[in-house]
Chain A
Amino acid sequence: MTLDLRIPMGAMFTLLGVILTLFGLATRGSKIYEASLGINANFWWGLVLLAFGLTMFLLGRRGQKRLASLPAEPPEDGQARRGH
Chain B
Amino acid sequence: MLNLTSVDWLIMLLYFVFVLGIGFALKRYMKTSKDFFQAGRALPAWICGLAFISANLGAQEVIGMGASGAKYGLETAHFYGIGAIPAMIFVGIFMMPFYYGSKARSVPEFLRMRFDEKTRALNACSFAVMTVFSSGISMYAMARLIQALHVFDGLFRALGWNPDGIFTFSICLSALIVLLYIFLGGLTSAIYNEVLQFFLIIAGFLPLVLIGLRNVGGWSGLKASVPMAYMHEWKGVAHASTNPMGIEIIGLGMGLGFVLGSGYWCTDFLVIQTAMASKNMESARRVPLIAAIPKMVFPFLVILPGILAIGLPTPHTTTTITRTADGAIHHETNVVPLNVEEGRGLVPAKINPVTGKAMLTASGQPLLDYDMATPNMLLHFFPTGILGLGLTALLASFMSGMAGNVTAFNTVFTYDLYQSYIHKGGSDRHYMAVGRWATVGGILLSIATAYAAINFNNIMDTLQLVFSFVNAPLFATFLLGMFWKRATGHAAFAGLISGTAAAMLHHGLTLPIEARPGIHGGWIAVLHNYPSDMAMNFWTAIFAFSANLIVTVVVSYCTKARPEAELVGLVHSLTPKPERSHIVWWKRPEALAVGVLLGAVALNIFFY
User: Which residues of A are at the interface with B, using a C-beta cutoff of 8 A?
Assistant: 1-3, 5, 8-9, 11-13, 15-16, 19-20, 23-24, 27, 30, 32-33, 35-37, 39, 41-42, 45, 49, 52, 78
Contact (Cβ within 8 A) B29 A3? yes
Contact (Cβ within 8 A) A33 B47? no
Contact (Cβ within 8 A) B279 A78? yes
> Which of A11, A30, A41 contacts B211 (CB under 8 A)?
A41
Contact (Cβ within 8 A) B381 A42? no
Nearest CB on B from A33, distance (A): 5
Q: Which of B374-399 contact A (CB under 8 A)?
A: 380-386, 389
- Contact flags (1/0) for B184-211 with A, using CB distance below 8 Å? 0000100010011001000100010001
- Kindly state the separation between the CA atoms of A52 and B192 in the bound complex, as whole angstroms: 17
Contact (Cβ within 8 A) A23 B188? no
- Kindly state the separation between the CA atoms of A37 and B214 in the bound complex, as whole angstroms: 8
Contact (Cβ within 8 A) A45 B7? no
- Kindly state the separation between the CA atoms of A5 and B331 in the bound complex, as whole angstroms: 58
- Contact of B575 with A by CB under 8 A: no
User: Which residues of B are at the interface with A, using a C-beta cutoff of 8 A?
Assistant: 7, 10-11, 14-15, 18, 21-22, 25-26, 29, 39-40, 42-43, 47, 188, 192, 195-196, 199, 203, 207, 211, 214-215, 279-280, 380-386, 389
> Which of B26, B29, B382 contacts A36 (CB under 8 A)?
B382
Contact (Cβ within 8 A) A19 B14? yes
Given contacts A5-B192, A12-B18, A41-B211, contact A19 B29 (CB under 8 A): no
Give the residues in chain A near B380, CB-CB below 8 Å: 35
Give the residues in chain A near B18, CB-CB below 8 Å: 8, 11-12
Nearest CB on A from B96, distance (A): 15
Contact (Cβ within 8 A) B25 A8? yes
Nearest CB on A from B141, distance (A): 25
* Interface CB pairs A-B, < 8 A, 20: A1-B29, A1-B43, A1-B188, A3-B29, A3-B192, A5-B47, A5-B192, A8-B25, A8-B196, A9-B199, A11-B18, A13-B199, A19-B10, A33-B383, A35-B382, A37-B214, A37-B215, A42-B383, A45-B207, A52-B199
- Kindly state the separation between the CA atoms of A52 and B39 in the bound complex, as whole angstroms: 26
B18 and chain A: residue at smallest CB distance: A12
> Which of B43, B211, B389 contacts A39 (CB under 8 A)?
B211
Contact (Cβ within 8 A) B40 A1? yes
Nearest CB on A from B284, distance (A): 11
Contact (Cβ within 8 A) A12 B14? yes
Given contacts A12-B14, A20-B385, A23-B385, contact A37 B211 (CB under 8 A): yes
Contact (Cβ within 8 A) B385 A24? yes
Contact (Cβ within 8 A) B215 A41? no
Contact (Cβ within 8 A) B203 A13? yes
- Kindly state the separation between the CA atoms of A9 and B50 in the bound complex, as whole angstroms: 13
> Which of B10, B29, B195, B199 contacts A2 (CB under 8 A)?
B29
> Which of A11, A15, A32 contacts B383 (CB under 8 A)?
A32
Nearest CB on B from A9, distance (A): 6
Given A15-B14, A32-B385, A41-B383, list of 8 further CB < 8 A pairs?
A1-B42, A1-B43, A8-B18, A8-B196, A16-B203, A20-B11, A27-B385, A42-B383
- Kindly state the separation between the CA atoms of A67 and B29 in the bound complex, as whole angstroms: 17
Contact (Cβ within 8 A) A32 B196? no
Contact (Cβ within 8 A) A8 B21? yes
- Kindly state the separation between the CA atoms of A78 and B196 in the bound complex, as whole angstroms: 27
- Kindly state the separation between the CA atoms of A78 and B578 in the bound complex, as whole angstroms: 14
Contact (Cβ within 8 A) A12 B196? yes
Nearest CB on A from B223, distance (A): 19
Contact (Cβ within 8 A) A8 B211? no
- Kindly state the separation between the CA atoms of A11 and B15 in the bound complex, as whole angstroms: 11
Contact (Cβ within 8 A) A35 B385? no
- Kindly state the separation between the CA atoms of A39 and B215 in the bound complex, as whole angstroms: 11
> Which of B15, B188, B280 contacts A12 (CB under 8 A)?
B15
Give the residues in chain B near A78, CB-CB below 8 Å: 279-280
Nearest CB on B from A45, distance (A): 5
- Kindly state the separation between the CA atoms of A27 and B384 in the bound complex, as whole angstroms: 10
Q: Which of B7, B21, B29 has the most CB of A within 10 A?
A: B7
Give the residues in chain A near B195, CB-CB below 8 Å: 5, 9
- Kindly state the separation between the CA atoms of A31 and B130 in the bound complex, as whole angstroms: 47
